[in-house]
Chains A and B, each alone.
Chain A
Amino acid sequence: MTLLGRWRRSGLWALVVALGVGALAVIAIVSTPPGEAMEPEGVGPAGAAALVAVLEQNGVDVEPVTSIDDAVSSLRVRREDTTVVVANPSNLGTAAARTLRRSSTGVDRLVVLSPSTAQLRALGAEVTALPIGAGVQVDSRCDIGPVDEGDSLVGIDTRYEARSDTADEVRVCFPLTIEAAEGDEGDSEAGDHGAGLVDLPASSDRAPLTVVGSQTGFANGAITEEDNAAIALRLLGGSPRLVWYQPGVADLADGEDGGADGGLLPAWFAPLLALLATGLLVLALVRGRRLGRLVREPLPVVVRAIETTESRGRLYRRAQDRPRAAAVLRLATLDRLRSRLGLRRGDPVEVVARATSAATGRPVSEVLDLVAGPHPTDDAALVRLAQDLTALEEKAHRP
């Protein structure tokens, strides 16, 4: 392949790569990053910027925190007239949940959206979470502080069942009930199937806890539907200060669970490991000690003698120097013909051509064209010329 062709080809590849990178960049710029659900600054369908904005318009001071330490320190400042919301508890570890429960005693209300059973247990609520798998619309059928009778909430994705022995203290809203169809008594599906909202009163070691089984319902995408906005504002806007706790990945760690592994291993394990490691070191020392130094080999300079000729050939090819290559080949053929046909070294081309014609029987013009004609215009013509010259020589040698 020629140099130009190689450039063209590598240029094509560069163009393809550049186009690919450009397309990726455009996609990255145009599409907003997915972000976490219920981010206070999130403007996407899953964010909660709309809710935060409306809350702030209503005079609520929203304080976003992203780690349990920040949450604790901001609650240490003031607990009165404060509501705490965990809008996206997916990163809320049990340790963080326990800490939150301890440090949030005394706040007006703790609101958690769609927590799991383990998180609820850590928060001190004996409530079981049962994910529905889809957002449904449910009527309130209750009248507690933030929720009025007749409110309707869209996007309930988790139902909660409180333990029966504590049920009298617990108020539930948005019950998911399936009414028994007439004449269909004894159907196991009918009856109470938990609720979308569970409100637990304050206890000695916990603030009043409201668990709402909906996360998407208060996000930007669904906040305008039905009475979602009103319920959200009443739940979260009850106090002049709102600590919006968005747990980070670090809060997932269960600090209290570690440290128990040591008991599984026998006592001699660690010392044995150390001994074996030392054995490895000794092995390295044993095998690594050289029996005397390496011996130097003084090497003479040796180059392939044909190298220069081959390089010259590559140079001709790289430069596409067909006139020169053809001229060299023709001169060599003429030299050999002269010596073969008994001519002198200095004899002109015409004399050689006539003698060759006489020896081979080919017309003079044809021979002359071969040994002194125009230069070949492409590589194929050059190869043809070289082959014709060889054939002519062979003919002259063995007429």
Chain B
Amino acid sequence: MALTARALWLVLLGIVPVVLRPAASTVWLWLLLCAVVAGVDAWLAPRPRALHLERALPPSVRLGESVRTSLLVTNPGTRTAVGVLRDAWPPSAGAELTRHTLRLPGGERTRLTTVLTPTRRGDRHADRVTLRLRGPLGVAARQASVGVPGRLRVLHAFPSRRHIPSRLAVLRQLDGRAAMRTRGQGTEFDSLRDYVEGDDVRSIDWRATARRRDLVVRTWQPEQHRRIIIVLDSSRTSAGRIGDAPRLDSGMDAALFLTAIAGHARDRIHLIAGDRVVRAHVSGHDRVRTLHDAISELAPVEAQLVEADWRLLATEVSRVGTQRALVVLITPLESSALEEGLLPVLPALAARHRVVVASVSDPAVDRLRAGRGSATEVYAAAAAERTVALRGRTATAFRSLGVEVLDEPPDRLPLALVDHYLALKRQGLL
């Protein structure tokens, strides 16, 4: 039960009888009358739970875009339902207008639309739908909240997808040239074509040249069907925010970019995200499907305030298969966390696979390093140098194990990682 503004006016209308018959009993009688009117009105109001509610909602939306969710309200009764409907969403779902006025004659249905512009990645669950239906006098109303479940998956914005065309062009170049440094295993013979200036002379096929009496070069397709295993660390160190986004989101951006490019290169992707437990594991042959799955599966992954269990993640990597693979570990280069967690398991991993550690660096550290203005700034600069030195020490330790380390700011990391991958592919090192 709820009262409306008319109830207030009804009570204030009591001024007339009170002035005409100034006594305490007049007040009591008037208030009693008001209570009776409100009670009867609320009793006569249609029952909110009798209305049928049905939600239509697209399954997912990319962060930064808007989506329309609609409620189909059906009134199976005979009386007109007049009132307010609130479609409640969490604040980060960015619902534009959640309150709708409702006037629904008996036996009819209507569609109420709420525009959502989510402000954060992850799953957004619709809260309850509240209906407040007025009585015939409009003095009081019946109110009820009913659950109409709905889930909107807000996907990663994937800002580096604008670089996909340029890197695909590089990949196509690779396809044609195929000037392999190593021959034999791991390279696939593709075709013979005429020599053009600039081709590697070592790739001239002399036998075919003799036959054709013209210079012919042998071309290879770049290696295909290699395994790429991307491990995304979602532990406490990934919760650190750089600029506007946490490190995890920048790492995710890089992982998705690599997934997209490697899919086009017909390599097989395994994407693992986890900390003490595996939060997501995506793999597949179909490149479009894999990228879609990766974006969708990573959407609800958030950084957890726990230390990463690298032994568990390494086990997950080895479960993928014994075939040599490119293992990309996306984790911040935090010396204390990695030296205790990752370093012990890294030698075994590096012996079996080609390992790359991709870390999101903080440009703010570089700004801090340059401070020379006052004693406070110099102390901060010393601290920043210490941070850089520690990261450098960790990177050196990794490199001594034959692990490549990429430490780049958030906007550069996806490109650096994919360029590294393309370089490896060009050299046939996968």
Residues of A within 8 A of B (CB): 266-272, 274-276, 278-279, 282-283, 285-286, 289, 291-293, 295-298, 300-310, 312-317, 324-326, 328-329, 331-332, 335, 379-380, 382-383, 386-387, 390
Contact = CB atoms under 8 A, between A and B. Distances in A.
Contacts of A329: 378, 381-382, 385
Nearest to B304: A301
29 contacts: A271-B26, A271-B27, A275-B11, A276-B12, A278-B31, A282-B8, A285-B3, A285-B7, A286-B8, A291-B143, A293-B88, A293-B128, A293-B145, A297-B90, A297-B91, A300-B302, A301-B236, A301-B239, A301-B302, A302-B246, A303-B241, A304-B240, A305-B241, A307-B240, A309-B380, A328-B389, A332-B389, A383-B375, A386-B378
Contacts, number: 183
Contacts of A383: 372-375, 378
Contacts of B88: 292-293, 295
A266 B22 contact: yes
Interface stretch (B13-21, B214-222, B223-231, B278-286): B13-21
B381 A303 contact: no
A303 B239 contact: yes
A295 B37 CA distance: 33
B346 interface: no
Nearest to B410: A305
Given A286-B8, A292-B86, A301-B305, A306 B365 contact: yes
Given A272-B18, A329-B385, A286 B239 contact: no
A294 to B, nearest CB: 9
In order of increasing CB-CB distance, the 3 nearest A-B pairs are: A305-B240, A292-B130, A268-B22
A274 B375 contact: no
A314 B380 CA distance: 7
Interface string B72-84: 0000000000001
Contacts of A303: 239-241
Nearest to A296: B90
Given A286-B4, A300-B302, A302-B241, A313 B380 contact: yes
B12 A271 contact: no
A268 B127 CA distance: 49
A272 B239 CA distance: 61
B247 interface: yes
B19 A272 contact: yes
Given A295-B89, A383-B375, A313 B8 contact: no
Contacts of A316: 379, 382-383
Contact of B11 (A279, A317, A390): A279
Given A282-B8, A303-B240, A325-B378, A272 B130 contact: no
Given A271-B23, A283-B8, A300-B303, A289 B143 contact: yes
B147 to A, nearest CB: 11
Interface string B282-303: 0000000000000000000011
Give the interface residue-count category, chain B: 35 or more
B210 to A, nearest CB: 48
B387 A309 contact: yes
Contacts of A382: 375, 378-379
A351 to B, nearest CB: 20
A282 B145 CA distance: 23
B47 interface: no
Contacts of A276: 12
Given A282-B11, A305-B362, A379-B375, 5 more contacts: A285-B3, A300-B120, A304-B241, A305-B240, A305-B364
Contacts of A332: 369, 385, 388-389
B320 interface: no
Given A271-B26, A305-B362, A328-B385, A295 B19 contact: no
Contacts of A282: 3, 7-8, 11
Contact of A386 (B241, B303, B364, B372): B372
A186 B129 CA distance: 101
A309 B368 contact: yes
Contacts of B376: 313, 317
A386 B130 CA distance: 64
A279 B8 contact: yes
Interface in B196-217: none
Given A271-B24, A325-B378, A382-B378, A286 B3 contact: yes
Contacts of A268: 18-19, 22
B229 to A, nearest CB: 26
A325 B374 CA distance: 13
Nearest to B127: A295
B384 interface: yes
Contacts of A387: 372
B247 A292 contact: no
A297 B26 CA distance: 49
A262 B331 CA distance: 81
A3 to B, nearest CB: 14
Given A271-B22, A309-B384, A295 B91 contact: yes
B163 interface: no
Contacts of A293: 88, 127-128, 145
Contacts of B236: 301
A329 B378 CA distance: 9
A301 B303 contact: yes
Contacts of B365: 306, 309
Nearest to A378: B375
Contacts of A300: 120, 122, 239, 246, 302-303
A285 B4 CA distance: 9
Contacts of B127: 292-293, 295
Given A271-B18, A272-B19, A286-B4, A291 B99 contact: yes
Which of A274, A305, A306, A328 counts the most B-chain CB atoms under 10 A from its CB?
A305
B157 to A, nearest CB: 16
A297 B95 CA distance: 13
B62 interface: no
A271 B12 CA distance: 12
Contacts of A331: 385, 389
Interface string B110-138: 00000000001010000111101000000
Nearest to A304: B241
Contacts of B364: 305-306, 309
A174 B269 CA distance: 121
B27 A312 contact: no
A278 B29 CA distance: 13
A292 to B, nearest CB: 3
Contacts of B379: 313-314, 316-317, 325, 382
Contacts of A386: 372, 378, 381-382
A387 B374 CA distance: 10
Contacts of B383: 309-310, 312-313, 315-316, 328
